[in-house]
Structure formats: structure tokens, C-alpha cells
Chains A and B, each alone.
Chain A
């Protein structure tokens, strides 16, 4: 593989909740991210999948410092091959890296300030990070608007004049204008309808080829994930339970949770028998997680060991990581028909 761009090392994020019943109740710790570690390589797309509330978005926001992590490191490899902990940087040095790491948000309606014109929105990161002349900013904005398929004559308008797809293009233009090396796409297409999704995905792919951008693609839509990513990380209750290349993960998952997720991928062939695994029970409460393996209450393969002992995320094949005691023994089903998947 190519050189790494980002190492996430033992990242934790805790939230404090106040007990609602007792006036002087002790605040409770809710561990939303639990010991997240992975590497990211330049130019690849790493998808992060998982059900609602598993911490995908929190992870994305911690990486870009949208919210501060409780502990852990996010080591960023600069273009000059320096290794810096992005989370610990402050002031000027942090600002210097801000331009390299950008984010695209899920909801194109709330992520654009309704009070600024599109031109002001797109140019905001430029103005904040570089000292440029007005004409240079104009040129760059016009350039990026063209690349993202926005009509430059609309730039004086306000966001409420645009459709969801156009708004997401504006958000992408804003993320791209500082020429970042890494973009975290937090459910970047899930708010859009399917025809627009394809357009935006293609746009992201084109831009990746042009500028060699690395993506962290947070999504719950497995067909899109399968289509665009090089590697996939599966998250469950604040932990990564499986991390592998897309083919390996979709072809032969090693964690029962991944298997259940895979079975939910819609099959376009109506003849094929549906064999969806319906997980029993509720999503466990992160404030009060189950003992041992957090997935055990819903796992069909569970044993006593699973109830008592939490499995580590370990390498079980060629860069295939899984957090299951029985990763090697279990023979789990992936997505059966490769050709059936569409993006």
C-alpha cells in the first residue's frame, strides 16, 4: 500500500450524562467511542459503517476536531512527512492543518448558513486560512464552483434558493476550496435522493482522482459503501468490530454483526431467496453496555466466553481485523452475489 496519511490511536470519547431523577445524582459516563485505532492511507477511501448511534458521526467529528476527543491521538502525516498529533495542536499550528482536513456534512440544509451567500460560504475557509487578494479568491471560487458543477452565475444567491443536491455541491465546494488532503464525508449523500446520490458519488470519485484526496466515508448505505470504498470499518457500540478491504469484508465477513449487516443489503434479483438475518433485541444502551462482547445479547453464535470476555480487535488475515473470539471458526455469509450490487 501507499504511504499513510492518518493514524488514529486509542481514540476515546466520553459524554457525561446527568441523572434525571436525582437532583444531586452523580453524572454518568457514556463511552461513545471506545479504543478506536486504525490507519488511513493516502488516496484511499475508508468507509465506516454501522447502525444509528454506534458512534460513526462522533468518530468523524473527533477526527476533524469538530468535537474534542476524551483521549487518544490522531496522528497526521503532513506532506513534508512530519508526524503531528492533530488533536493536541493549538493555535497557529492547528490552523495550518485545518486546511488539509475538511468535512462534508450529512444534512446540506443545516450545514450551510442561511445567512450567507453561496459565494461567502464557499470562500469562508479561504478567507480564514489564507491571505489572498479579492481577485484571487474570486478566481478560486469560480474555479471550484465549475469543478463541482455549480453555475457560477448563482453564487450571489443564498442557500435557500438551491435544491438538496445543489446544496451538497456547495458543501463539497467549500470542503475542497483549501485543497485538503483528507475529507471526512459524514453521510454525505444519505439526505439526497437516489439519482442525485449517484451524481454526488461520481463527483467525489472524480475529485479524488484529480486531487488524490483521501476520504473517510461515513455511511449506513452498504451498496454505496461497496461501490466506492477501498476498505471498510464496521462499528458497533463505539468500537470497531471489523476492518478489512471491501472485497474481503463483503465476500467473507468475520464478525457476526457484519454478517447481519450484509444480509440487509437489498438484492435486486427478485428470484433470489431472501435470507435476511433479523437481529434479536434492542440496540444495547451505550450508557449501560452488556458484559463481555458488546454484541453478545444479539449474537446467534454466542457462547459463555462471549458473555464474560470482551474480544480484542485482532488481525486474522491479510490486513483483515475482527473483534470476535470465533472469527476463524465461524463460516459467515457475505453478500452472495457480487454482480448484483450496484452503487
Chain B
């Protein structure tokens, strides 16, 4: 639509703009981009989110241990310190960890861990670990970092089964970050279609759809989740379970988006320029595609972005309650399940690390959404 040159006749050759960067020649999306660029917090958030998703994508490579690896010797081990300077005050270029020795507290008989400063394990990059499939393409044993066997590396400690928390957070991000994305994606499509129908046709159809939305929205979500997840058959493959859970979120989440779409549809339908297009003889489909859709798509992007943190929290809550993803697969919510017991938090506070990641993700999504919202309508002064 905006390709150059426009006119072929030499008479009007001067139509080509000299400076295409000029705001006068900028399309809607370019203006939105320029505005978004000015929003510092949103830009930073986007970088952080990009990093988080990159981590999720390469999770198997980045995590030192696999999903199923556990070691009953190291149950509830505290986070290890990566050191450069050893007990004798000697500096090592390569960071290392000391061997972890488990023992028992003579009084309480509780398991305690001590560092054995005699034995050092240096951090190795591209270390050999358990076998996994890289991006689902080929089998490999190379992981980004690790320590030599029989050394252990627990950057963020371990859980009650002796599984490395860091690895599990990284691996859990795959599910925790993708479920909301896919869920919102499905809600987006459902919301767009139903909202458009409601806004465009109006009348009794609109009333009917709005009443249905109201009914769905007035369900208390927690019992609804419980009922729906109870309907999921037990012992199904993780992939199927994942699909069911996404579906549950999408079926509840579309109502918000449908309302945004409907509202925008109604307000844009009566804009002068839409009426002008109608009078000019432009067909319905083309009016929707060229006038209505570009008019509200930016708002939709914002609404979608702002809907994602809600879904992250919902997935976390569901898994936290044991209704979502089940072991051995993991998500941040599953990891937080252990934090349900007060003794766990009191004695092993590192088990709250996943919470920090959830907060970080939700915050960055909200900041990103804020930035997008401010940029969404570049024509508003």
C-alpha cells in the first residue's frame, strides 16, 4: 500500500518524498514504534522478556540437570556459592564450588550441609551432562555449564527430592511462559471473531453474546478451574494435559478481548471516515479490513499483552493448587507447591525463588503493556 514510486508519469515524478523518515510520511505502525521507543521502562521490559523467552527456548541446554534427575543425598540443599577465591585466599580465574557434605545435626537430627573446603570443583562450560534433545532436533549431552562428576552444582539449592531448583526453574519456564502465550493467542482469535460479530451486527445477537459473556464472567474462577481440571482424565501424556490446560484458560479468557473488540467496533463504525468509505461505495469486507481492523488492532495488541500476566498468574495458581501441570513436568506453579508448607519456607527459604521469577515476568509484561498502550493511538494528542 505504501510502496514507492507512486506515479509513473514524468509530470508527477516529484511525488517521491525526499525524506521518508519524516513523520508526515509515517504510517500508523511507524508512529506507534516511534512512540514506543520513547517509553524507557517498556523497552527495558521488552529486553528482559526477550531474554526470558530465549532462556525458555534453550532451557535444556542452559539447565545443568534434566527434568528427571534427582539425588536423595542432596535433599533440601541450600544454594551454593560460586567462588573465585578459595579458603587459602588464592584467586582462581575459573569459578568453582566446594564439595557439599551432608550430615546430621546431633541435637535436632536434622539434615545439614557443610562445605568441604578440601575439594574444589571448577565450573566447566559446554560440560557433558545427561542426554537430551537439542530443540527437539538431535541428541546431545553438551550443556552450557556444569561441574565434573561426582561434584554437584546447585546454584539455587535443591528441593525435597534433591532436584536442582535452578534447572527446574529454567525448564519450568517453558511451560509457564508458553501456556499464557498460546492461551492468549486462542482467546485472541475467539475474542476477535465473537467480538466482531457482536459489534458489527448489533441488535439481538449483540445482546445475546453480551449476556453469555456476563454469565461466563460471573463464574467464580477457582471452582471453575477445579471443575474443569477434574474433567481432565488422569494419566494422560504431558502434551495432551498441556493442551487441555491452555484450552481452559482460553475458554475463560476470551471474554475480555471480545468486549474490547466489540467496543472498538461500535465506536469506529460511526466514525466519519468509515461512513465516508461506505458512501464512496467501498464494500463491507473491505471496510472491515482497511478501516475498522487497523483502527483497533493496536488496542487489541495492548489488551492481549495485558492479559498475559493474568494468565501467567492463573497457571501458577492452578499448578500451585495441584490442578495444573503434574510431575515430572514442571512449571513455576508446581515449584511453588513446596512453598505451601510453612516449615519449607522457614527452613529452606530458597524454595521461594520461583516466586521472584513469576513477579519479574508479570511486572515486565505489565510495563510492556503500559508502553504499548501509550503508543497505541499515535493520533491522540
- Which of B7, B276, B291 has its CB near the most chain A CB atoms (within 10 A)? B276
CA A119 to CA B25, docked complex, whole Å: 11
B359 / chain A contacts, CB cutoff of 8 Å: none
Q: Most chain-A Cβ atoms within 10 A of its Cβ — which of B4, B9, B15? A: B15
- A-side contacts of B340, CB under 8 Å: none
Hey, which chain A residues are within 8 Å of B239, CB to CB? Answer: none
Shortest C-beta distance, A61 to chain B (Å), equals 7
A95 at the interface (CB under 8 A from B): yes
Interface status of B273 (Cβ within 8 A of chain A): yes
Contact, CB under 8 Å: B6 / A161: no
> Contact between B280 and A124 (Cβ–Cβ < 8 Å)?
yes
Known: A66-B275, A156-B17. A138 touches B6 (CB 8 A): yes
B111 CB to nearest A CB, Å: 65
- A residues 144-158 near B (Cβ < 8 Å) are 152-158
Q: How far is the CA of A340 from the CA of B286 in the complex (A)?
A: 50
Q: Which residues from B are CB-within-8-Å of A64?
A: 279
Residue interface bits A109-135, CB-to-B below 8 A is 1, else 0: 011111111011000110011000001
CB contact between A111 and one of B6, B7, B276, B282 (< 8 Å): that residue: B276
Q: Are A115 and B4 in contact (CB under 8 A)?
A: no
* Interchain CB contact under 8 A, A114 and B379: yes
In this assembly, does A310 line the interface, its C-beta being within 8 Å of a C-beta of chain B? Answer: no
CA gap between A125 and B286 in the complex, in Å: 12
User: CB of A98 within 8 A of chain B?
Assistant: yes
Task: For chain B, residues 262 to 277, give those with C-beta under 8 angstroms from any C-beta of chain A.
Answer: 271-273, 275-277
Q: Are B281 and A103 in contact (CB under 8 A)?
A: no
**What is the CB-to-nearest-CB distance from A30 to chain B, in angstroms, rounded to a whole number?**
17
B50 at interface by CB-CB < 8 Å: no
B14 within 8 A of A: yes
Render A73-110 as a binary contact track against B, CB cut-off 8 A, 1 for contact. Answer: 00000000000000000000001001101110111001
A contact residues, total (Cβ < 8 Å)? 44
Q: Does B218 contact A (CB under 8 A)?
A: no
Say yes or no: A157 contacts B24, CB within 8 Å: yes
CA distance A112 to B8 in the complex (A): 26
Cβ of B375 to closest chain A Cβ, rounded Å: 14
In the assembled complex, A305 has its CB within 8 A of some CB on chain B: no
Q: Nearest-CB distance from A160 to chain B (Å)?
A: 6
- Whether A128 pairs with B294 at a CB distance below 8 angstroms is no
Contact flag A129-B281 (CB < 8 Å), given A111-B272, A113-B273: yes
Do A119 and B6 have beta carbons less than 8 Å apart?
Answer: yes
Q: Tell which of A119, A120, A129, A152 touches B14, judged by Cβ atoms closer than 8 Å.
A: A152
B4 CB contacts on chain A under 8 angstroms = 156
In the complex, A174 has a CB within 8 A of chain B: yes
Q: Contact: B2 with A110, CB < 8 Å?
A: no
Q: Does B23 contact A (CB under 8 A)?
A: yes
Q: What does the 1/0 interface line of B1-41 toward A look like (CB < 8 Å)? A: 11010111101101111000001111110000000000000
Contact A98 B281 (CB under 8 A): yes
Name which of B9, B281, B282, B286 has the most chain A CB atoms within 10 A of its CB. B281
Say which residue of A66, A99, A114, A115 sits within 8 Å of B278 (CB atoms). A66
In angstroms, how far is the closest chain B Cβ from the Cβ of A340? 35
**Cα A76 to Cα B291 with chains together (Å):** 29
Chain B residue total in the interface (Cβ 8 A): 37
B220 in contact (CB, < 8 A) = no
Contacts A65-B279, A128-B283 given; does A107 touch B272 at CB 8 Å? yes
The reply to whether A66 and B279 form a contact with Cβ atoms under 8 Å apart is yes
B280 near A125: Cβ-Cβ < 8 Å: yes
User: B295 interface residue, CB < 8 Å from A?
Assistant: yes
Asked if A139 lies at the interface with its beta carbon under 8 angstroms from chain B, I say yes
Candidates B8, B272, B286, B294; contact of A135 at CB < 8 Å: B8
- Asked if residues A155 and B283 are in contact (CB atoms below 8 Å), the reply is no
Least Cβ–Cβ distance between A167 and chain B, in angstroms: 11
Closest approach, in angstroms, between the C-beta of A188 and any C-beta of chain B?
12
* Contact in complex: A161, B23 (CB < 8 Å): yes
Are B275 and A61 interface neighbours, CB within 8 A? yes
Partner of B281, one of A110, A125, A138, A160: A125
Which residue of chain B is the closest to A124 with respect to CB atoms?
A: B280
A244 to B: closest C-beta gap in Å:
29
A158 in contact with B276 (CB, 8 Å) = no
A156 contacts B28, CB within 8 Å?
no
Let me know if A105 and B276 touch, CB within 8 A: yes
A98, B280: Cα distance in complex, Å: 6
Contact B277 A153 (CB under 8 A): no
Chain A residues within an 8 Å CB radius of B271: 110
Question: Are B28 and A128 touching (Cβ within 8 A)?
Answer: no
Q: Mark A37-76, 1 if CB is under 8 A from B, else 0.
A: 0000000000000000000000001001111000000000
Cβ contact within 8 Å between A115 and B275: no
Inter-chain contact B280/A174, CB cutoff 8 Å: yes
Q: Do the beta carbons of A103 and B24 come within 8 Å of each other?
A: no
Is there contact, CB below 8 Å, between A139 and B9? yes
* B25 contacts A115, C-beta separation under 8 Å: no
A178 to B271, CA, bound (A): 22
Give the nearest-CB partner of A65 in chain B.
B279
Q: CB-defined interface of B283-300 with A at 8 Å, one 1/0 digit per residue?
A: 100100011001100000
In the complex, A54 Cα to B279 Cα: how many Å? 22
A260: Cβ under 8 A from any B Cβ: no
Q: B11 — which chain A residues lie within 8 A by C-beta?
A: 142
Q: How far is the CB of B215 from chain A (nearest CB, A)?
A: 18
**Chain A: minimal CB distance from B26 (Å):** 7
Q: Which residues of B are found within 8 Å of A111, using beta-carbon distances?
A: 272-273, 276
- Residues B277 and A124 in contact, CB atoms below 8 Å apart: yes
Q: Which residues of B contact A124 (CB under 8 A)?
A: 277, 280, 282
Which of A114, A115, A128, A161 contacts B280, CB < 8 Å?
A128
Contacts of A178 in B (CB 8 A): 280-281
B residues within 8 A CB of A61?
Answer: 275
Assess whether A155 is in contact with B6, with CB atoms less than 8 Å apart.
yes
Which chain A residues lie closer than 8 Å to B290 at the CB level?
116
| A residues near B280, Cβ cutoff 8 Å | 98, 102, 124-125, 128-129, 174, 178
On chain B, the residues within 8 Å of A129 by CB distance are 280-281
Instruction: Write 29 A-B pairs (CB below 8 A) sorted by A numbering.
Output: A64-B279, A66-B279, A102-B279, A105-B272, A110-B271, A111-B272, A112-B273, A113-B273, A113-B277, A113-B295, A114-B379, A115-B27, A124-B277, A125-B280, A128-B283, A152-B7, A152-B15, A153-B15, A153-B17, A155-B6, A156-B4, A156-B15, A158-B24, A158-B26, A158-B27, A161-B23, A171-B276, A174-B280, A178-B281
Q: Mark B residues whose CB is within 8 Å of A.
A: 1-2, 4, 6-9, 11-12, 14-17, 23-28, 271-273, 275-283, 286, 290-291, 294-295, 379
